[in-house]
């Protein structure tokens, strides 16, 4: 039996996508320790893993990018938080290493210090990425603005300029990290893309056609489809009383100040045929009032139970909600609010599974028209759902991680691919071999 230590940054959106993999490892006879948010012990132990809290000092350094105007300011705030956490993560993971003696580290790509420590130990290690790949490619646009893939020389020049600008913006934060890496005796990275790709194996929690096809996809990147684990919850009894078509309006569970999406939905969609489900999540629900009984406002709803039974999901563009909807064959209307969400929105649109409504153009009328268009894209969402299923999921990740431990192949046969819970009725599943 091998011991695997999974280390996450302090975000549920990075923990939950790894718990199906943790469960798969445990089912194969491995011991799994998950070092993550202190208040997520129940989630971790529910899959049979051991919970180890990350340092309170790390949790005390939250992302506060929402306080900054513009994408550049938000990115600086994010990079600053990651670089400030890094030395704390080194100490945190060093203590866990001494106490648990893992044979394999699996590290969140946003945990810069933990990745540095794992690399310095000279033992097998992997990383995981639950959002789009922020790595240059001849086939994919520069990361951040939500550009379409390059179609000609001017697009490629545009991308080179944006990547160069990102490199300059990231430089001081990566210099901090490289000083730490020097202390631990590992090479500098200098660029964020090099850090993302540093591990021998990167488990990428998405797949084509939602992610852009790349002819130059790095060999260590394994796209396995989304992680759809969620805490056990009952299907809400009130769902049966809501007529179809049903629209779910889902905003961020992390602080992002995106309540304007909820406000626009209540004004623009409440009088449409069918019903509206609105969980304000991190936004104060007292700000909103349901105008009639076809609108249901609940602070949180269990997405795993509700999403497969709606017809459209309106979202801020978080990868978790967006990919859960598409995995159930439900089209999306994305109002990207910040962070990497413009990239998520563009991918939903390009894959024929969603509609993008820019934040600057959000009005009740515009949202109503965007949702009407999104409702026509069910076939595109089903195509993405089928592709996610073929990608292999946690079973394919297990084969890859065991390959690191024992030198076996990093691919899993299609016969070993599990079905995805919450599949919408009518979505077929191909049995073809997962695409690399």
Q: At what angle do helices 341-350 and 319-327 cross, to 10 degrees?
A: 20
Q: How confident is the model at residue 72 (pLDDT cuts 50, 70, 90)?
A: confident
Region 125-149 average pLDDT: 95
Q: How confident is the model at residue 66 (pLDDT cuts 50, 70, 90)?
A: low
pLDDT above 90 (res 61)? yes
Give the pLDDT of residue 395. Answer: 97
Q: Which of 89-103, 147-161, 199-213, 412-426 has the lowest mean pLDDT?
A: 412-426
Q: 43 and 257 in contact (C-beta within 8 Å)?
A: no
Give the pLDDT of residue 357. Answer: 96
Give the pLDDT of residue 432. Answer: 30
Give the pLDDT of residue 256. Answer: 56
Region 26-54 average pLDDT: 98
Q: 125 and 105 in contact (C-beta within 8 Å)?
A: yes
Q: For the domain bounded by 3-223, which CATH number is listed?
A: 3.40.50.2000
pLDDT above 80 (res 75)? yes
Q: Which of 3-17, 120-134, 392-406, 420-434 has the lowest mean pLDDT?
A: 420-434
Find, among 235, 243, 240, 287, the residue nearest to 265 by Cα: 287
Domains 3-223 and 237-385 agree in fold: yes
Structure tokens at 291: 């105008």
Domain 237-385 belongs in CATH node 3.40.50.2300: no
Q: What percent of the chain shows pLDDT beyond 90?
A: 81
Q: How confident is the model at residue 254 (pLDDT cuts 50, 70, 90)?
A: low
pLDDT above 90 (res 67)? no
Give the pLDDT of residue 282. Answer: 67
Give the pLDDT of residue 286. Answer: 74
Region 22-50 average pLDDT: 98
Exposed, middle or buried by CB within 10 Å (0-12, 13-18, 19+), for 373? Answer: middle
Find, among 402, 226, 194, the residue nearest to 186 by Cα: 194
Give the domain ranges of the chain.
3-223, 237-385
Region 215-219 average pLDDT: 96
Find, among 92, 130, 42, 124, the residue nearest to 405 by Cα: 124
Residue 79 CA to residue 174 CA, distance in Å, equals 8
Region 11-32 average pLDDT: 97
Give the pLDDT of residue 410. Answer: 37
Whole-angstrom CA distances from 400 to 26, 303, 405, 407, 419 are 15, 29, 9, 9, 19
pLDDT above 50 (res 433)? no
Strand partners, 51: 34
Region 159-169 average pLDDT: 94
Q: 262 and 362 in contact (C-beta within 8 Å)?
A: no
Structure tokens at 48: 């049979």
pLDDT in tens, 378-414: 999 999 999 999 999 999 999 999 999 985 433 333 3
């Amino acid at each position: 039996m091998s011991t695997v230590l999974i280390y996450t940054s302090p975000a549920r959106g990075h923990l939950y996508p790894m718990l199906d993999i943790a469960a798969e490892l445990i089912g194969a006879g491995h011991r799994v320790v998950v070092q993550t948010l202190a208040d997520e012990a129940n989630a971790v132990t529910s899959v049979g893993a051991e919970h180890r809290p990350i340092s309170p000092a790390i949790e005390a350094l939250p992302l506060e990018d929402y306080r900054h105007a513009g994408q550049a300011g938000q990115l600086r705030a994010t990079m600053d938080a990651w670089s400030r956490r890094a030395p704390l993560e080194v100490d945190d993971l060093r203590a866990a290493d001494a106490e648990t003696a893992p044979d394999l580290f699996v590290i969140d790509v946003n945990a810069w210090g933990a990745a540095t420590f794992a690399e310095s130990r000279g033992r097998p290690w992997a990383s995981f990425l639950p959002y789009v790949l922020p790595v240059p490619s001849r086939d994919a646009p520069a990361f951040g603005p939500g550009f379409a893939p390059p179609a000609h020389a001017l697009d490629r020049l545009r991308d080179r300029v944006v990547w160069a600008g990102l490199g300059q913006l990231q430089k001081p934060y990566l210099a901090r990290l490289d000083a730490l890496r020097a202390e631990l005796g590992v090479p500098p990275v200098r660029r964020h893309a090099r850090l993302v790709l540093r591990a021998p194996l990167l488990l990428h929690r998405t797949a084509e056609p939602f992610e852009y096809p790349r002819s130059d996809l790095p060999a260590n990147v394994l796209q396995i489809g989304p992680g759809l684990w969620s805490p056990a919850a009952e299907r809400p009894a009130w769902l049966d009383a809501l007529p179809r078509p049903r629209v779910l309006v889902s905003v961020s569970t992390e602080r992002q100040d995106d309540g304007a999406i909820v406000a626009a939905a209540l004004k623009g969609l409440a009088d449409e045929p069918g019903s509206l489900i609105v969980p304000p999540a991190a936004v104060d629900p007292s700000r909103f009032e349901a105008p009639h009984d076809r609108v249901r406002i609940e602070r949180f709803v269990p997405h795993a139970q509700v999403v497969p039974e709606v017809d459209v999901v309106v979202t801020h563009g978080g990868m978790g909600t967006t990919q859960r909807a598409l995995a159930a064959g439900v089209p999306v209307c994305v109002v990207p609010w910040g962070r990497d969400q413009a990239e998520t929105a563009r991918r939903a649109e390009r894959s024929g599974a969603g509609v993008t409504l820019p934040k600057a153009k959000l009005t009740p009328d515009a949202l109503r028209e965007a949702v009407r268009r999104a409702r026509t894209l069910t076939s595109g969402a089903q195509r993405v759902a089928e592709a996610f299923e073929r990608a292999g999921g946690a079973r394919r990740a297990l084969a890859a991680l065991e390959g690191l431990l024992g030198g076996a192949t990093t691919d899993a046969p299609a016969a070993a691919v599990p079905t995805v819970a919450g599949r919408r009725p009518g979505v077929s599943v191909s049995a073809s071999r997962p695409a690399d």
